[in-house]
Amino acid sequence: MKLIIAIVQDDYITKLIKALMDNKIRATKLSSTGGFLKSGNTTLFIGVEDKEIDKVVDLIKEECSSKKVKDGNNEITLGGANLFVVDIDKYMKI
């Protein structure tokens, strides 16, 4: 089993949560704030079986795309999501 930690820009979170729910994928949602440009984002914890990782990553890719923002005179490309995939030794639902 794996834990996907997805840090998603707030612009994309509503559509992403709906896509995950439509595919019967559960997620725990935490509000967070990014350090870069102090933009709002949401962190999702998504526990999945190893065989479902690609499906979840593909859903996130579909719903979260990069965007360009102005920072003074510079134009910066921000990603729609940052993902961390980690092994889970044990899962318990109480």
Q: Residue 29: name the closest of 52, 12, 53 by CA.
A: 12
Split the chain (94 residues) into runs of 10 and give each run's mean pLDDT.
93 93 95 69 94 96 81 76 93 86
51: which 2 tokens?
């065989």
Tell me the domains of the chain and their CATH numbers: 2-87 (3.30.70.120)
What Rg do the C-alpha atoms of the chain give, in angstroms? Answer: 14
In the chain, what is the greatest distance between 2 CA atoms, to the nearest angstrom? Answer: 52
pTM of the complete model:
0.81
The beta strand positions in the chain, using DSSP E, are 2-9, 28-33, 40-48, 67-71, 74-78, 81-87
> What pLDDT is recorded for position 36?
57
